[in-house]
Amino acid sequence: MDQAVGWSFVSLAGFVFTYYTIWVIVLPFVDPDQPIHNFFLPRFYAIAGPLVAGVLALCMIGAFIIYVSVSKKLKKS
């Protein structure tokens, strides 16, 4: 079971890396009329997507920290 989770992480990381690499680095050199562009969103989302995901991640981390500290304070009082 643990092995399945581990290998799924590895494959997900590999897929994300290759997709993002093709999106950001390979596609600018490809002519706009090639069909491969249909698999990728406009370049704007290559920057907006990770930024929004990063902001969401930071918000969730902050919310978790606040939750833990507040619950600890309530437990003490």
Partner 1 sequence: MFDGDQEGNTLTEPTRMQAELPHPPGVIAEEALPSRLPSPSQPKTHPYTIPKLYQWLLVASVFMAVWLSYVAGYFKTSLRQEYHDIILVLPLYLLMTFASYSLALLGYRVATFNDCKEAAEELQEDVKEARKDLERKGYKYASDWQ
DSSP letter for each residue of 26-60: IGGGS-TTSGGGGGS--THHHHHHHHHHHHHHHHH
Q: Which is nearer to partner 1, 28 or 35 (CB)?
A: 28
Residues 9-28 that bind partner 1 (CB under 8 A): 9-10, 12-14, 16-17, 20-21, 24-25, 28
Q: How far is the CB of 14 from partner 1 (least distance, A)?
A: 6
- Residue 15 corresponds to which tokens in the numbers above? 């897929």
What is the rounded distance in angstroms from the CA atom of residue 19 to the CA atom of residue 44?
15
Give me the residues that bind partner 1 (CB under 8 A), please: 2-3, 5-10, 12-14, 16-17, 20-21, 24-25, 28-29, 43, 46-47, 50-51
